[in-house]
Structure formats: structure tokens, C-alpha cells
Copies of this chain bind each other. A is one copy, B any other.
Amino acid sequence: MVKHTEDISFSLDNGSGVPVYRQIINQIENAVVSGRMATGNRLPTIRSLAVNLKINPNTIAKAYNELEIRGVVQTQVGSGTYIADKRPEVADARQKKLREAAERFLQEAGELGAEKDEIIKLMEDI
């Protein structure tokens, strides 16, 4: 039985320099490794997402296509795009991605001269 959930939302940042299609890829991968999207869940259609995010359908198609190449999703022609079978690394992947995100942030915080105290205080405040 194929589930039809579409409970994923995207937030794009146009000024960050990160290509839009990669932001989409990242957010889908994050949803997968965090367990919010699981095997068999359906992704939004290219068209609906294009309308939602106000971007060109080609951009989303490119993201889905790359995710398919990586084995994260599978496309069923005429039906939609689905999260692929769980692969073993998923559990590790979340930790890895979380740690990488933390390191990117700490790198930048370090450049801004923030010490551990200030950073943790900031985390607690927000």
C-alpha cells in the first residue's frame, strides 16, 4: 500500500547563493533522514510545488531527478514521486548532517568572535 502523505514544506532563501534546486534536494533529504518522510511517502507533484514555491517547474524536476539518481526517491510514471526503500545508512546520515550543519554554524560563529557561552545562550534564547 502506497501512502499519499505530502506533509513536507519548503523554505527557500533566494539570496544565499545556494541554488534553489539544491535547497530542495537538501530539504527533502533532511526530511528523509529525520524520519519525517518515510519509504513510500509521496512527494508533492512538480506542478503543485512549482505553484506553491513560485518557481519554475524545471527547477523542481531537476531536484527530483537528482534525488532519483541518488536513489532517494523513485518516480512512478503517471502516479508520482515516492521516497525510495530505506537504505541502511539513513540512521547515520541524520547524525552526520546535523553535525555538519552545526559545524558550518560554529565556523561562522567563530568568525564572528562568538565563544561557546554566547553561542549556547543564543541557542537557548531563540
Q: Which residues of A contact B (CB under 8 A)?
A: 11, 13, 16-19, 22, 26-27, 30-31, 33-36, 56, 66, 69-70, 78, 94, 97-99, 101-109, 111-114, 116, 118-120, 122-124, 126
Contact = CB atoms under 8 A, between A and B. Distances in A.
Contact of A120 (B69, B109, B124): B124
A94 B114 CA distance: 9
Q: How many copies does the complex hold?
A: 4
A125 to B, nearest CB: 9
B101 A112 contact: yes
A78 B59 CA distance: 12
Nearest to A108: B101
A99 B112 CA distance: 11
Given A18-B16, A30-B108, A30-B112, A98 B69 contact: no
